[in-house]
């Protein structure tokens, strides 16, 4: 399925997650964040980079792992990405939805 993001056709699945990470860039990220009512700050970018690094290393993502990461505390994570922080942050990061998310 294709979706117009940042004036480009991007391949996404039925939930809107990018199928091809190579299509992700900061402009795409900003557009997806805007759709999620998230205004990117330096802290958001730090979390996004952490998530992408974990994805590249093929390490599973979970709320518990985020809590232990030292990148962000859990309360701040929920504040930065309200309404399902792991789902929303991975969507914005252009990586697949974690298996731990329903």
Residues known to be catalytic: 101
Q: What is the distance between the alpha carbons of residues 10 and 65, in angstroms, rounded to a whole number?
A: 29
Contact at 8 Å (CB) between 56 and 96? no
Q: How many CB atoms lie within 10 A of CB 70?
A: 8
Contact at 8 Å (CB) between 44 and 38? yes
SS3 42: helix
Radius of gyration of the chain measured on its C-alpha atoms? 13
């Amino acid at each position: 399925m294709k979706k117009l993001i940042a004036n480009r056709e991007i391949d996404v699945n039925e939930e809107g997650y990018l199928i091809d990470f190579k299509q992700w860039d900061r402009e795409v990220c900003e557009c997806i964040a805007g759709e999620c009512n998230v205004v990117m700050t330096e802290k958001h970018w730090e979390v996004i980079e952490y998530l992408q690094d974990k994805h590249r290393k093929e390490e599973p993502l979970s709320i518990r792992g985020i809590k232990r990461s030292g990148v962000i505390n859990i309360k701040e994570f929920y504040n930065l990405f309200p309404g399902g922080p792991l789902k929303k942050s991975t969507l914005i990061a252009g990586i697949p939805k974690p298996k731990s998310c329903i």
